[in-house]
Amino acid sequence: MRLFMLLIFNTSQWELRKLFFSLTLCRTGARLNLAFAGFFAFLHWLVRLKQPRMLNSVVRRMSTSVRHFPIRQDVPNLSDMRMSYNLTSLDEKDLDPDPIAQFNKWFEQALQSDVHEPNAVTLSTASKDGRPSSRMVLLKSVSEKGFSFFTNYESRKGKQLAENPFASLCFFWGPMQRSVRIEGRVDRLSSEESDAYFRSRPRGSQIGAWTSHQSQPIQSRQELENAEAELEAKFHEKEIPRPPHWGGFLLSPDYIEFWQGRVSRLHDRLVYIREEESQDAEKASDPALKCDTPPPSLSIGGERTEPQSEVTGDATIVTPEHHAHHKQHVVPRSGKWIIKRLSP
Ligand SMILES: Cc1cc2nc3c(=O)[nH]c(=O)nc-3n(C[C@H](O)[C@H](O)[C@H](O)COP(=O)(O)O)c2cc1C
């Protein structure tokens, strides 16, 4: 203890002081304390040896984690981490015949639960040669036409959508044990729609859209802040127009899946498929009408080796690979929705 007090008051680093102090409070035994004291004395000595920048950042990070995250004695193995889903179920009779109405119903419930940012969604796109990439975006509107989000058209996702217009959205609403997957074709919103949304954004975000050459490498944070300051001066007390490289996309869905977690991993998966899509899918699974694409091979408990298509229950979901072979059926943007239950 005495050694600790000595260190606390000897060190010139405020963050280090805080760390020593918290360790003194939550000590588990004299030996452990001695080991910690030795370790931090060593750190302290290094700080004095002109390595302050690196060590300061390490210490700051360590003390930030002490402040923000609970200290766990028993960090579990990832392989042991699992939750049991038992909140509720999803039955065919619960579903609205219109998937957008069903989405709105679940979204309302997500808003009322303690889901953090329920409109945050993973957007997956793929390059023209099929290499996928995913990132989060914020869903900004939902209508019978589809789901829209806003971004930089010259970003990685923007470029991928220009060369391959198919994408998917995946929501996970943990506290509700629910997920929604949406797939379809993506097109730019009209410039009027993008302008209208851009005008509604806070001024700082408007400047941000001009400042950021999204997805491009930059030298430093400072470069970004300098650009922001320049643009603030340029647009001072003026209305900020929408940058031509920034705007909205609309995903017109042909597949919407509602997933409700259930016990023993026997989850409920109910999916709406555009009727044309489903007929095309039946063609794709019919050996007589089959295209050259090899069938998907799945290995139980292992990796999916050929992710060309997904076969679940009695529905084969057609993917871009198949789309390329059946161009006449590519984009079912109208038509009835049919509902299928998929095996979890
Ligand atoms: C919760 C959350 C919401 C985000 N929303 C958006 C968004 O609406 N539009 C956007 O361009 N980037 C958004 N981002 C940043 C993106 O995830 C991503 O970093 C950025 O769009 C660049 O992606 P890209 O290089 O694949 O194009 C969001 C990030 C998070 C974590």
Q: Could you report the per-residue pLDDT of 193-210, keeping only the tens digit for each?
A: 999 999 999 999 999 999
Is 119 a member of any domain? no
**Pair 59, 28 in one domain:** yes
The phi, psi pair for 82, rounded to 5°, reads -155, 150
**Pair 287, 230 in one domain:** no
Domain boundary among 218, 246, 274: 246
Q: Ligand 1 atom 5: the closest Cα is on which residue?
A: 137
At 264 the three-state DSSP class reads helix
**Pair 20, 52 in one domain:** yes
**Pair 17, 58 in one domain:** yes
Is 110 a member of any domain? no
**Which position among 48, 61, 199, 265 bears the catalytic label?**
265
Is 88 a member of any domain? no
User: What are the residues whose beta carbons fall under 8 Å from the beta carbon of 197, sequence distance 6 or more?
Assistant: 140, 150, 248
| Any ligand 1 atom below 6 A from CB of 138 | yes
Q: Ligand 1 atom 31: the closest Cα is on which residue?
A: 136
Domain boundary among 16, 37, 68: 68
**pLDDT at position 124 over 90:** yes
Helix (H) or strand (E) holding 340: strand 337-342
**pLDDT at position 76 over 70:** yes
| Segment 31-34 long-range contacts (CB within 8 Å, at least 24 positions apart) | 33/1, 33/3, 33/4, 34/3
pLDDT classification of 320: cutoffs 50, 70, 90: very low
Is 143 a member of any domain? no
Is 117 a member of any domain? no
φ/ψ bin of 130: left (φ > 0), alpha (ψ from -120 to 50), beta (otherwise):
left
Is 296 a member of any domain? yes
Dihedral of the CA atoms 129, 130, 136, 141 (nearest 10)? 90
Domain boundary among 68, 103, 123: 68
Which atom of ligand 1 lies nearest, measured to the CA of 136? 17
For the ranges 74-83, 95-104, 320-329, the maximum mean pLDDT occurs at: 95-104
User: According to the model, what pLDDT value does residue 132 have?
Assistant: 98
| Any ligand 1 atom below 6 A from CB of 6 | no
User: According to the model, what pLDDT value does residue 60 have?
Assistant: 55
For 18-30, what is each residue's pLDDT tens digit? 555 555 555 555 5
Helix (H) or strand (E) holding 40: helix 30-48
Is 180 a member of any domain? no
The domain of 239 spans 204-246
| Segment 67-73 long-range contacts (CB within 8 Å, at least 24 positions apart) | 71/26
Q: What pTM value is reported for the model?
A: 0.70
Helix (H) or strand (E) holding 182: strand 178-188
Share of the chain above pLDDT 90, in %: 60
Determine the Cα–Cα distance for residues 222 and 225; give it in Å rounded to an integer.
Answer: 5
**Pair 242, 271 in one domain:** no
238-255 burial, b if ≥16 CB within 10 A, otherwise e? Answer: eebebbeebbbbbbbbbb
Least confident of 61-75, 79-93, 317-331: 317-331
Q: Per this entry, what is the length of the chain?
A: 344
Q: Reply yes or no on whether 2 is catalytic.
A: no
Name the amino acid, one letter, at 179: S
**Pair 330, 269 in one domain:** yes
Kindly give the distance from the C-alpha atom of residue 152 to the centroid of ligand 1, in angstroms, as a whole number: 9
For 220-232, what is each residue's pLDDT tens digit? 999 999 999 999 9
Is 338 a member of any domain? yes
At 147 the three-state DSSP class reads strand
Domain count, the chain: 3
User: According to the model, what pLDDT value does residue 75 have?
Assistant: 76
**pLDDT at position 233 over 50:** yes
